[in-house]
Amino acid sequence: MQHFPELFEALLKERGIESKDQEDFLSPDYRKLHDPLLMPDMEKARDRVIKAIEENEHIVVFSDYDADGIPGAVVLSDFFRRIKYENISFYIPHRHNEGFGLNTGAVKECYKRGAKLIITIDCGIADIEEVDVANKYGIDVIITDHHKPKDTLPRAFAVVNQNRTDSTYPFKGLCGSGVVFKLVQAIVNKESFGVKPGMEKWSLDMVAIATLSDMVPLLDENRVLVRFGLDVLRKSPRLGLAALFKRLNMDQRNISEDDVVFMITPRINAASRMGVPEDAFKLLITTDPLEAEKLSFHLEQINNKRKGVVASLVKDAKSHLSAREEIPEVIVIGNPDWQPSLMGLVATAIVEEYKRPAFVWGRDGNGVLKGSCRSYNGCDLFALMNAMSESFIEFGGHTGAGGFSFTLENLSTLEENLSKAFLSLENSVAEMEKESGLAVNISDIGENLWNTVSQFAPFGMGNKKPVFKISKAEIKSVKTFGKEANHLEIIFSGNENSSRSSSVKAISFFSTPEDYDIALTPGTNINLLANIEKSYFRNRPELRLRIVDIIGT
């Protein structure tokens, strides 16, 4: 029984889900994942890995250093551990010293290790010269990547990427870990190496973390992978995750997509942004309880350090932007003193504040200007950078996020040129649809509404959380909370005639009453745009609203 049938239908319509697709969306079926062999070069890649295993060749897994690449490396680590294959090593480049993707120094190191095969994860699609070096050393390279390729592909043994121009794979939105999971599927479908069928599903916790972290759409296969991946994550026996959950007061049995994005992802990424990425990899594969405790503590420490640095950078960026007479369609901002590894976080904050795509840059140890960009409202960043390719030394990424480098001489025109290109791609801010919200009453906020909404989870890119508009909600109390009193809590008066609680809590992180244009005082009626969510912080379930915006009545 649907307690809110009209709302249920509105949520289906909002997502463009027709009646024939309703069951697949609401009840994802693992058996309906696409055949891995539909992906370009997958058969070649599968057979080459099997050959390497059968001939006991040394394999190097080369993964990106972020919360997509590292979980992907764990997916392969899980696979090789299960089949008891030990002639393998892992290489995760240092973000600051080596940068993104393969590099010739890393290829030489793989050669010194005696590698006959390199498997990349979440990188490699642009590394033409580096693959040529590997070929000269007699090392085969299997590229597994999801970033959009440029005109020329590397001369690798296999290039497994659903976004190749010649690809007929049915879904283009897999992240890097999703692609390498498909490789594992293809291998075990042909040769199980004595492992029980279906054991690869226990790596879906990593695929879920990566998919949620990497700003790819939670549609089609990704919806299946994340739905089942969260189920695995809630039961995962990984000691490192258990130590991290305990340290963060998280209830593993009720982990949600928000917990991944806001709690787990930043700590995985902190390893490469503030230290060495191997620490996050070790946390996720360790079987030693003491090492799990040590690494979880370390990642929490450096993540706290990262928070302080990023907060200072965001404050600096917003200060400069507030001094501008007008904000362009695409924001470009940076400083030679800023650390490029943190620019994605600053870009995210800028996008949230100004509702525009943002390109944020710093300068690396070699003096190169480089940074990260984040999208707004579906703007295809790769297409945008491709339209302005002459402005960049290098660029890459996908629709939602990317990276770039450029010369100082292009700095003065970059923002103007990107804004013009943005308008030519018909993505102007003026055309972007503003969230109006689905109308509900304050008395509707409760378990029945939550049960209706949660059927559409997991939420994320391509499947946004429903925004509800609550008119004339009466404020009962207002307060700030947190160590720095920088979070907002408002209690609204509920339905006094209802048998349930007569008040409703709404929160907003990193905001205060002064951030809004109207006075937030008890007895005031306001119009509220909000999501509904269930929090399990400190193992206490709490249904509440997450404030999107507050406007006067």
Crossing angle, helix 278-285 and helix 289-322, to 10 degrees?
140
pLDDT over 90 at 517, yes or no: no
Work out the average pLDDT over 100-105.
92
The verdict on 304 and 348 lying in the same domain is no
In degrees, to the nearest 5, what angle opens at C-alpha 488 toward C-alphas 484 and 492?
Answer: 150
For 166-190, the pLDDT digits (tens) are: 999 999 999 999 999 999 999 999 9
pLDDT over 90 at 224, yes or no: yes
For 9-26, the pLDDT digits (tens) are: 999 998 989 888 899 899
Q: Say what the pLDDT of residue 430 is.
A: 40
The verdict on 367 and 463 lying in the same domain is no
Classify residue 11: in a domain, yes or no: no
CA distances from 205 to 243, 249, 465 (A): 16, 19, 22
Please, which pLDDT band fits residue 4 given cuts at 50, 70 and 90? Answer: confident
The verdict on 94 and 146 lying in the same domain is yes
Chosen domain end from 288, 312, 336: 312
Tell me which residue of 1, 3, 546, 23 sits closest to 12, measured CA to CA: 23
Indicate which CATH number applies to the domain containing 169.
3.90.1640.30
- Count of positions (residues) in the chain: 553
For 149-158, the pLDDT digits (tens) are: 988 999 999 9
Do 186 and 36 contact (CB within 8 A), yes or no? yes
The verdict on 280 and 405 lying in the same domain is no
Query: Quick count: other Cβ atoms within 10 Å of Cβ 89?
Result: 15
Bridge pairing between strands 88-91 and 503-508: unpaired
pTM given for the model: 0.86
Q: Say what the pLDDT of residue 484 is.
A: 78
Question: Cα–Cα distance between 90 and 103 in angstroms, integer?
Answer: 15
Work out the average pLDDT over 188-209.
96
Chosen domain end from 159, 190, 216: 216
Q: Say what the pLDDT of residue 429 is.
A: 43
**Span of 149-163, 286-300, 539-553 with lowest mean pLDDT:** 539-553
CA distances from 287 to 84, 246, 448, 468, 504 (A): 15, 16, 41, 44, 43
Q: Say what the pLDDT of residue 461 is.
A: 86
Q: Say what the pLDDT of residue 462 is.
A: 87
Classify residue 15: in a domain, yes or no: no
Q: What are the residues whose beta carbons fall under 8 Å from the beta carbon of 504, sequence distance 6 or more?
A: 442, 445, 473, 491, 492, 494, 544, 545
For 309-355, the pLDDT digits (tens) are: 999 999 999 999 999 989 999 999 999 999 898 999 999 999 988 99
**Span of 38-42, 299-303, 337-341, 397-401 with lowest mean pLDDT:** 397-401
Q: Note if the bond before 357 is cis, omega within 30 degrees.
A: no
Classify residue 4: in a domain, yes or no: no
Classify residue 535: in a domain, yes or no: yes
Work out the average pLDDT over 529-541.
85
pLDDT over 60 at 29, yes or no: yes
pLDDT over 60 at 437, yes or no: yes
The verdict on 411 and 354 lying in the same domain is yes
Q: Say what the pLDDT of residue 433 is.
A: 42
Q: Say what the pLDDT of residue 428 is.
A: 44
Q: Say what the pLDDT of residue 244 is.
A: 96
Classify residue 9: in a domain, yes or no: no
The verdict on 42 and 166 lying in the same domain is yes
The verdict on 195 and 77 lying in the same domain is yes
DSSP of 473-493 = EEEEEEEEESTTS-EEEEEEE
| Mean pLDDT for the chain overall | 91
Number of compact structural domains in the chain? 4
pLDDT over 60 at 432, yes or no: no
3-state helix, strand, coil in the chain (%, to 5): 45, 20, 35
Q: Say what the pLDDT of residue 426 is.
A: 60
Classify residue 42: in a domain, yes or no: yes
Q: What percent of the chain has pLDDT over 70?
A: 96
Classify residue 255: in a domain, yes or no: yes
**Span of 106-115, 382-391, 396-405, 422-431 with lowest mean pLDDT:** 422-431
In the numeric block, which tokens belong to residue 264?
Answer: 């787990």
pLDDT over 60 at 301, yes or no: yes
The verdict on 473 and 546 lying in the same domain is yes
The verdict on 130 and 146 lying in the same domain is yes
Q: Say what the pLDDT of residue 1 is.
A: 55
The verdict on 306 and 344 lying in the same domain is no
Do 275 and 302 contact (CB within 8 A), yes or no? yes
The verdict on 55 and 182 lying in the same domain is yes
Please, which pLDDT band fits residue 496 given cuts at 50, 70 and 90? Answer: low
The verdict on 330 and 427 lying in the same domain is yes
Chosen domain end from 381, 401, 431: 431
Give the domain range for residue 478: 438-552
Classify residue 378: in a domain, yes or no: yes
